[in-house]
Amino acid sequence: MRGRAGDTMVLSTYGRSSGFCVDPIEKKPLNHFLPGTPILSFGTAGCNLTCKFCQNHDISKSREMDTLMDQAPPERIAEAAKAGGCRSVAFTYNDPVIFMEYAVETAKACHAVGLKSVAVTAGYMKPDARRDFYAHMDAANIDLKGFTEDFYARLCTSQLAPVLDTIRYAYHETPCWIELTTLLIPGENDNPEELKRLADWVAAELDETVPIHFTAFHPDYRMSDKMRTPAETLHEAREIARSVGLRYVYTGNIHDRAGGSTLCHGCGKVAVGRDWYEIAQWNLDSVGACKSCGTRCAGVFDGPPGNWGRKRQPVKLAVRLNP
């Protein structure tokens, strides 16, 4: 934003994007919201956190307007998504809290043409903004980056408590579909006791049906000296979360068909088999019930799954701007 004392603050990134791309919705990651469908994704620049491990830092840490070289008003984004066969639009790459007005207006434009709106966010926001933002979101993947205040203060210059408040609010007070993601960083937030507390919190404060994704860290930004997350760490985290009763626990950023697949909690059979971001097996009916036993899988399902697969398709919406 920009302005002087006494002036109206103006969001200088409104209508400007770091780029548009059609992704599989599983890449957000969302495994229980319109599976297999394409989603038009975009972001702006900047972030309200300063995560030392940021894996999208070229966008989220940028303060330069030359990062924002594509321009499109909300209506144009909705039209392009609809024309491209997308079922939804994602506010991602950097936190949509940074461009909240642009995101909300785009969500309204999407709803006007029958599209859903998706937020990929760290959930670090004040109550008033939280209420206004989630009033327009149909689904969100919220980063639960760790489960100690020390982790948030030391590595993100933020706080855990407001994030937990956001997750509680979005789950209990809105119809927004919620999934969680925790990037496991060796030696920082992968302690089994901490992961057990995190899983217990999800089960107690939310519900056993809330999906959680444990994803692999790779050395980047200001933590390039850290090792990659071993697959064994992800598998252990998944088993810890499943042991406290969470039904839908996934591994991410690695090839792990078992860790990426959804099991029916009624009969134990594979309900949705996944390979990376691609659906390889489908055993649900049009409303998300297991074809083997009839048990309903939690999520937002609307007919058969899409077949977008794992491809990523850049989209040009407007003439590029001069910085």
Domains of the chain, by residue range, sit at 16-260, 263-304
Write down the pLDDT at residue 12.
Answer: 66
249-288, pLDDT tens digit by residue?
999 999 999 999 999 999 999 999 999 999 999 999 989 9
Cβ atoms of residues 186 and 218 within 8 Å:
no
Per-residue pLDDT at 10 exceeds 70: no
- Compute the average pLDDT of residues 199-215: 98
Q: What is the DSSP string of 190-244?
A: --HHHHHHHHHHIIIII-TTS-EEEEE----GGGTTSPPPPHHHHHHHHHHHHHT
Partners of residue 88 on adjacent β-strands: 39, 116
Q: Which pLDDT does position 14 carry in this prediction? A: 76
Nearest-angstrom CA–CA distance, 72 and 306:
27
Percent share of the chain, pLDDT over 90:
77
What is the arithmetic mean of pLDDT over 32-46? Answer: 93
Give the residue-averaged pLDDT of 176-204: 98
pLDDT of residue 33: 98
pLDDT for res 239: 98
Q: Express each pLDDT in 110-143 by its tens digit.
A: 999 999 999 999 999 999 999 999 999 999 999 9
pLDDT for residue 91 is more than 70: yes
Q: Which superfamily does 16-260 belong to?
A: Aldolase class I (3.20.20.70)
Q: Quick one: tokens of 156?
A: 């993100």
Q: What is the pTM of this model?
A: 0.92
Predicted pLDDT at 1: 47
Confidence of residue 323 (pLDDT cuts 50, 70, 90): very low
Query: What's the pLDDT score for residue 11?
Result: 64
Q: What's the pLDDT tens digit per position in 286-311?
A: 899 999 999 999 999 998 899 999 99
User: 303 versus 69: which is more confidently predicted?
Assistant: 303
Edge-to-edge strand list for the sheet holding 278-282:
262-263, 270-275, 278-282
The pLDDT of 6-26, averaged and rounded, is 76
Mean pLDDT of 3-20: 64
Question: Span 26-47, mean pLDDT?
Answer: 94
> Contacts for 109-113 with beta carbons within 8 Å, 24 or more apart?
109/74, 109/75, 109/77, 109/78, 110/74, 110/77, 110/78, 110/81, 111/136, 112/78, 113/78, 113/79, 113/82
The tokens for 102 are: 């642009």
Q: What is the mean pLDDT of residues 238-243?
A: 98
Q: Is the pLDDT of residue 24 over 50?
A: yes
- Rounded to the nearest integer, the mean pLDDT of the chain is 90
Q: What pLDDT is recorded for position 84?
A: 93
Give the pLDDT confidence score for residue 177 in this predicted structure.
98
Where does the pLDDT of residue 44 fall: very low under 50, low under 70, confident under 90, or very high at 90 and above?
confident
Of 147 and 48, the structure prediction assigns the larger pLDDT to 147
Give the highest mean pLDDT range of 12-26, 32-46, 219-233.
Answer: 32-46
The partner residues of 279 in beta bridges, in order of sequence, read 274
Query: Which of 52-61, 181-190, 221-230 ranks highest by mean pLDDT?
Result: 181-190
Cα–Cα distance between 162 and 145 in angstroms, integer? 12
Rounded-to-integer distance, Cα 269 and Cα 266, Å: 8
